[in-house]
Amino acid sequence: MDKYIPVVVIKELCEVDVILPALKANSLNCAEITFRTDCAAAAIKAAAEKYPDMVIGAGTVINENQCRQAIKAGAKFIVSPGLSVPVANLCRKKHIPYYPGCVTPTEIMQALELGITTVKFFPANVYGGLQALKALAAPFPQIRFIPTGGIDRNNIDEFLAFDKVAAIGGSFFVKESLEKFKGTI
């Protein structure tokens, strides 16, 4: 898994060929394309086909139907804002990594019962940030976190310095990459 996971919202399919080259130009070879728009599955499919050297995943997957669509489209990992047992079971069956949102001890225990040891911590800024991650990591030393939400260049290094952080997710990677990419054209 990459240390940086750009969270990408594709509103129109043509944006795939704008955003993904910008990410690549900024040395970001991963993209979590969210299921927040009607073209999400098509965007994942286009990204997986056109950019096979990138790891394309699906984010904001909230049910088994979306998970099936994402996997069929070529998603290599699945991310949810919360924990869904049907999504976890489908991912396990299909051998696709699943990173559910977990912010409480109970949710982390449920993830562990499902065999999941890396979870999304979302929204990190609302649920106590790095201080909360450190508190949760103490009773769950086998858990690693992907904090997302409220992370930016001001605090990213602080999060990455914590050994229980597997990666950082954020839409700010997309904004930065697009600004930088436009500057090189």
The one catalytic residue among 3, 11, 45, 120 = 120
pLDDT at 184: 61
Residue 144, CA distances (Å) to 34, 168, 174 in order: 22, 11, 24
CATH of 4-184, one of 3.30.450.20, 3.40.50.2300, 3.40.50.300, 3.20.20.70: 3.20.20.70
**Digit-coded pLDDT (tens) for 75-85:** 999 999 999 99
pLDDT at 1: 65
To the nearest 10 degrees (0 to 180), the angle between helices 40-50 and 16-25 is 50
Please give the Cα distance from 170 to 5 (Å, whole number).
6
The one catalytic residue among 3, 12, 32, 179 = 32
Cβ count within 10 A of residue 95: 6
Do residues 61 and 34 touch, judged by C-beta distance below 8 A?
no
**Catalytic status, residue 32:** yes
pTM for the predicted model, two decimal places: 0.96
Please give the Cα distance from 57 to 43 (Å, whole number).
11
Helix, strand, or coil (residue 155): coil
Residue that is written with structure tokens 């993830």 in the block: 111
**For the chain, which residues score pLDDT lower than 50?**
185
Please give the Cα distance from 29 to 177 (Å, whole number).
12
